[in-house]
Structure 1
Amino acid sequence: MQIDIKIAIEQNPNLKRYLKENSYWYNYLNRNPIYLKAMEEEMKKKYKLTPEDKIEKMYNSISMVSEFLKILK
């Protein structure tokens, strides 16, 4: 595996954890470092770190607070 790929993985704890859980990515990254971007996308989908997931999480939080305020009235 190339040094820059190792550094990128070490700097991102989510990537490091995902790589440990899905060790088949070692083979892909050893063959072609371009797969790092694909691994990052898959990791974001699994851990719900995409912008859509963040917006949905914020919307759910706002809805919960809104319902709580309705109950207090």
Structure 2
Amino acid sequence: MCAERKLFFTKRGYIGLAPMAMEKGDRICVLLGCNVPLIIRPQEDHYLIVGDTYVYGIMNGEAVQGFRDENLEYVDLTFR
């Protein structure tokens, strides 16, 4: 499960496991209908998907509640 993964910490205090390709500045994205959060990387006018991630505290719908409580932000994204 942890092969080719690295531990990370976010500015908001979340901890998780991400692909080795994750870099500082990448973001965690929760897409409605997706089974797991994704690591995405901002590019010029779009985002690249780096891979899936495990983030303790947002794996079971907590991110949706965080959005309702205004602790997390909603953003329109374009992927290529």
TM-score by length of 1: 0.24
Structure exhibiting the larger radius of gyration computed from Cα positions:
1
More strand by percentage:
2
More helix by percentage:
1
TM-score by length of 2: 0.23
